[in-house]
Amino acid sequence: MTNFFLVSPAFFVPRAASGFFSPAYAQDEPPPPAAEPSGVIPAPKIAMVDYQKILRESLAAQSLREQLDKVRRQERDKVAKLEDTLRDSRQEIDRQRTVLSPEAYEKKVLEWERTSGEHVRAVEKRKRALDITFERSLGKIQSVLVKVIREVSDEKEINLVFTRSQVLLVDPDMNITDDVMASLNKDLASVKLATIDSSGGKGGQPKK
């Protein structure tokens, strides 16, 4: 097995909205232990992986975004219906103003404002929970991706891998993105979006 290093300070980049990883939810599994140094510095054999392209175009990433888009559409529909209900209830309160005492009207307004505020907070909490859930699910892709990069590098006897964001110019023969993409698509064709836990924003663990 070739001992190689995956070098990228930007490998873990935020956030779900951009389709990348957050460090707190980057991996489902701990990284493999580093190999013991042999004391001999090997000649470098370098390769490059276009990490962002894999996140955009891999089958697993596309399946995850399709699920996320569906959930977001459902969330928008729910929010729109609840906002319509709140707007109608406020209009009804205003219509009753002439027949209510000032105290009764003020009480209804305060109650409506409390309900409306709870709605806004619940929507924001749900959004945060969805972001965290998406990041956790993306972490499944990253975990397998790191393993695939290691396997491809072993096969090609590569001992140093850079991400595309770190490289200004690169020889096309040093680009192993297509090989990594093909292996990832074979090993992980889809990732299930984890269950959203709005109570704590932790969500369930993603499944293959």
Residues 101, 105, 107, 113, Cα dihedral to 10°? -170
How would residue 35 be classed by pLDDT, with cut points 50, 70 and 90? low
For residues 185 and 53, what is the distance between their CA atoms, to the nearest angstrom? 13
What is this structure's pTM? 0.68
pLDDT tens digits along 101-119: 999 999 999 999 999 999 9
Average pLDDT, the chain: 82
Q: Is the pLDDT of residue 18 over 50?
A: no
Q: Which two tokens stand for residue 96?
A: 């009753």
User: Over 70: is that where the pLDDT of 155 sits?
Assistant: yes
pLDDT in tens, 45-91: 999 999 889 988 999 999 999 999 999 999 999 999 999 999 999 99
Confidence of residue 23 (pLDDT cuts 50, 70, 90): very low
Given strand 160-163, what is the order of strands in its sheet?
5-7, 160-163, 46-49
165 band by pLDDT with thresholds 50, 70 and 90: confident
Could you read off the pLDDT of 140-149 as tens digits, one per residue?
A: 999 999 999 9
The confidence band for 33, taking pLDDT boundaries of 50, 70 and 90, is: low
